Each structure stands twice: as C-alpha cells, then as structure tokens.
Structure 1
Amino acid sequence: MQHDEVIWQVIRHNHCSYMAKIETGKFCRNLYNVTGICNRSSCPLANSRYATIRDHDGVFYLYMKSIERAHKPNELWERVKLPRNYEKALEIIDKHLMYWPKFLVHKTKQRLTKMIQMRIRMRKLALKTREKIMTAPRKQGKRESRREEKAETAAVLDKTIEKELLQRLKGGVYNDICNYPMDKYIELLDKEPERETETELYEEEEEPEFVEAGDDLDEEDDMEDFGGRVDYNDEEIVEAGDHKRKRKESRLALRKLEKYEPVVKSKKPRVLVEVDREDADEQQKAVF
C-alpha cells in the first residue's frame, strides 16, 4: 500500500535523484513536476493524486495520476490531448479536474499558459534571421598564416634574383658563358619579337655564288652556235637538284641550331666585288 507521507520523508531528508540544490533554492528535475520546485505539494512521487501538462512536439497533453492505478506502473498516468484553442483547453482541464484540489487545478492551468507563451516565442525566433556564430580552428589559422608568409618571402626572393641576373646579363658579366637555361632564354625571345624577326629575315637571304666570266661567255657562244637551244643531260639535272636539296637541308639545320643559341649572331659585313668582262666595258657588282 502506498503511503505519501512516508515517501516524502524519505525523499526530503535522505536522498532524491531528481533534487537539484542551488544557492537560490531546491528544484526538481522530474518531467511530471507541475511547478519545478521541490516541495510537498508539487512532488509527483509523494502525491498519489497528481496532474500536470506535458508537451510533445508542439502538442499539449493533460496527464492525471490516481491511487486506483498505483499497482499498475504501465497504466499509472492517464493522458488527454488538449486542443490548440486556449479557451477550449481550459474547459477540458476544468472538466477532468472538477473535484481535484484547487491548488493543483490552478498550477496546471498556469503551466499550460506558460508553455503556450514559450511556443509562441519559439516560432517568432525561428522566423527571424540571426547571425550564426561559427568557431574558427586556431591551429589551422596559424598554419595558413605561416604558409602565406613563406610564400611571400619566396616570391620576393625569386624576383630579386631574377632582376639581379638580368642586370648582370645586360652589363656583360656573362659574355663568355653560353649555357643559359632554355626556359629563361625562351622568355627573353618572347619579350623581343622584333629582334627575332630581324634575324629570321637575315637568315632567309640566299648566299651569292661566284661564277667565272669566261665560262659564261663560252656558254653564250655555244648557245649562239646551236641557235639559242641548249640540251642538258639528265644526270646533270639530277645532280643540280640534289645539290639544291642538300643546301636547303643544311640551311634548315643551321636555323634550328641558332634558335637554341642564346647569343644572336651579329650581321656579316658586306663586301663589294667587281667583275670585269673582256668583251664588254661593263662591270658587274656583287654585294655580299
């Protein structure tokens, strides 16, 4: 048989797992406590006849306990769903707690009012846009700052080294050294397109050939003898084509080699050659 006074004496003076003692007073952590204060009239364990309000995801229920169901722990509490309308919910509480103590009826209505107000404030706060405070990891921030400092110092050092080397190259310190890195040499070539075009034009110029004056006159005499018609042998034509092809291949190979050389060749001096003919007073001039 359940005896409320004996239960309260044990809980109050010995030990209760739901009791929370702080400076302002003693509170109860039991979910069925109607006031949240640890006293004789509000304790759900020391009262065989008890009522309270609980919230389940925005839906309020009226919980009632009676001494007739004390021997059935699984059916100890009777639950009644309350409507969303505040006035109708109060009517249902009055209907089910008609002959209960007035203190318990008043505290139940007061708990319902506080819980409805709390739900209204929660909805308003959910609709407002608030700033979300995020914690930044301290170690990661320090690591990134150190990496940025190292990258900045490395970039400044590379730029200073490059400037110093270019100044030395322009000053003529490395005249005798020809093993420059190819990537830097290509960058310099890209920066100076005019210089490259001049060298290409100079390379495309054909080299002049020297021909004796007597041979030309004999060939002209032979042509006059045969009536202006000269027949060449097929072997001579093939040899001339092979000679031209070899000259073209050698010229292309020289161009490829000169592209990889860092120092651009200086232009050759021009030489003026005069060729006198025996039959005519005219003079031929060849510029090299």
Structure 2
Amino acid sequence: MQHDEVIWQVIRHNHCSFMAKITTGNFCRNPYNITGVCNRSSCPLANSRYATIRDHDGVFYLYMKTIERAHKPNELWERVKLPRNYEKALEIIDKHLMYWPKFLVHKTKQRLTKMTQMRIRMRKLALKTREKIMTTPRKEIKRESRREKKAETAAELDKSIEKELLERLNGGLYGDIHNILPNYFNKILDENELQAVSDEDEVEPEIEYVQGYDDLEEEDDIEDFRWFCY
C-alpha cells in the first residue's frame, strides 16, 4: 500500500531525479508540480491525492490524481479540459475539487491565473512588431569589409583605364587600330551608336510635297461605280 510520508522521506533525503538544488533553494523539474518548489505539500510523488494545471498547445487541462487509481499507472491521472473563459474554468475547478484540501484548490486556481496571464502576454508580444536582432561573427565582418575595399579599388582602376583609353582614342594616338581591349571598345561603340540615334531623333523632319487630288478622284470613281450598280 502507498504511504506518502515514507515516499517523501526517501526522495527528500536520499535521491530524487526531479530535484534541482541551487543557492536560492530546492526546485522541482516534475511537469506535474503545481508550484515548481520542492516541498512536502507540492510534491506530486509524495501526495496520493493531487491536482494541477497543464498546458497542451494552448489548451489548459485540470489533472487530478487519487489513491484509488494508484494500482493502474496508465490511468493514474484524470484530466478535464478547461474552457478559454477564465470564470468558467474557475467554476469547473470548484466543481471537481469541491471536497479537496484548500491548499490544492488555492494553488490550482493560482496556477491557472498565472498561465492565463502568460498566454495573454504571449499573444500581445506575437501581435507586436519587434525588431529582430541578428548577430554577425567578427571574422565575417572583417572578411566582408576587405572584399568591399578590393571591389572599390578594382572599380576605380577599371574606370581610370577606360577613361585613359578613351582619351587616347579620341586624340588619335592609336591611328586606325582601335580594338585593343574588346570589352571597352564595344562599350564605347554602343555608347556612340546610342548617341547617334538620339541625334537623329533631334533632327527636324524633311518637308515633302505630294499631289493631293489623286485620292479624291479615286473616291469619286468608286462612288460613281456604286450608283451605277444600284
């Protein structure tokens, strides 16, 4: 037969895998612990009659354990789904824990209150737009800065070479041989072609004179032919 006091003395003074000892006190890692503190009244193992609140994907459940189901470990806990309405959830707790110890009833309601407040806070934080802080390694920052400096130096060098070649080409230094660097040469040719096309668009169109009675005579002949057909 289960004896709560014997179980508590064993797990308290010998060994308990759920106990966490730190400087501020002893805490319990058991998910069914109603307070999270390791003491006699809050221990779910050393109390044959126990109740707590658990969260499953945003849904709260009231878990209850009694001594009558101690011989059936797979059915040890009985759970009841709590509604999202806080007041109705308190009513269900009062209904199922009517004759239970006042300590368990009070701690169960207190846990439900804290979990409800936490859920409301999580919803507000999810709806609120917050800046995402991204950390970058120091080596990666230095590597990217070196690459940027090299790219800027290469771009400035290309521009200076292009400018100098264009000046030499316009000055007639190369004579009839222009295709020294094909990339720059083709780029300059494309720019000159675009400039020539734009210059042609700016030229005023020529005025032409044509005879304007031929079309009218043809239309009169067509109308006469229609009257003839009728």
- TM > 0.5: yes
TM superposition shift of 1:41? 0.6
The equivalences for 1:21-40 within 5 A come to 21-40=21-40
* 1:41 paired to 2:41: yes
Map 1:1-288 to 2 at 5 A: 1-161=1-161, 181=180, 183=182, 187=188
Q: Structure 2 counterpart of 1:181, which letter?
A: I
CA distance 1:79–1:169, shift in 2 (3 Å):
closer
TM-score when normalising by structure 2: 0.70
**Distance change in 2, residues 1:170/1:62 (3 Å):** closer
Q: Radius of gyration: which is bigger?
A: 1
Structure 2 match to 1:240: none
Counting aligned pairs with the same residue, the percent is 82
Call closer, same or farther: CA 1:76–1:190 in 2, change over 3 Å.
closer
1:85-137 C-alpha deviation (Å, 9 max, x unpaired): 32332222222222221111111111111111111212222221111222335
SS at match of 2:133: coil
Equivalent pairs, count: 193
**Alignment partner of 2:55: what SS?**
strand
> Distance in 1 between the 2:124 and 2:171 partners?
76
Which residue is 1:224 aligned to? none
**How far apart, CA to CA, are the structure 2 residues paired with 1:170 and 1:88?**
90
The Cα of 1:144 is off from its aligned counterpart by 3.0
The 10-residue stretch of structure 1 (129-138 or 115-124) with the greater mean CA deviation from structure 2: 129-138
Distance in 1 (alpha carbons) for counterparts of 2:159 and 2:41: 83
Runs (5+) with no aligned partner, structure 2: 197-230
Distance between the aligned counterparts of 2:83 and 2:167, measured in 1?
Answer: 89
> Match for residue 211 of structure 1?
none
Q: Deviations 1:149-180 (Å, cap 9, x if unpaired)?
A: 112222333444455566677889878x9686
**TM-score of the pair, normalised by structure 1:** 0.57
Distance 2:17 2:52 in 1: 20
Q: What SS is found at the alignment partner of 1:31?
A: coil
